[in-house]
Amino acid sequence: MMEKIRKTEEEWKKILTPEQYRVMRQKETEPAFSCIVEKLKVGGIYHCAACDLPLFRSEAKFESGTGWPSYYEPIDPKNIEERFDDSFGMHRVEVICARCESHLGHVFDDGSPPTGKRYCINSVSLKFKPDK
């Protein structure tokens, strides 16, 4: 089991930008097609913007047409947690960082091969580190 990072909301507000705080701690969603990460086409790893845990490889990224970065699998299933989310009258599965429990986005069953999953992730929740 992964060791958790625990911080107060005041501590998170000091670490995260206001937009990151709204998305990652208050579970809001950034506007579609507003993210730079969605357009990146280089090799590397996408990390949690709050705690730096590696989450997704660029090779697992695909163009979903949704306006948010989409991945067909996480870098390691232990690095994310999935929780049922029935907010706003919808039945979805929320994706959170397994270490800091920050909201990342949602996972859907309409994705790309080989998994058929679409991890639809808010770009402000990610920090990209290119391959060397």
* Coil/strand/helix, residue 13: helix
Count CA atoms within 13 Å of residue 86 on its CB side.
Answer: 0
Judge whether 35 counts as a catalytic residue: no
Q: List the catalytic residue out of 35, 97, 100, 120.
A: 120
Q: Which three-class secondary structure state does DSSP give residue 54?
A: strand
Single-letter residue type at 80: I
Task: Cite the DSSP H helix spans in the chain.
Answer: 9-15, 18-24
Give catalytic residue positions. 120
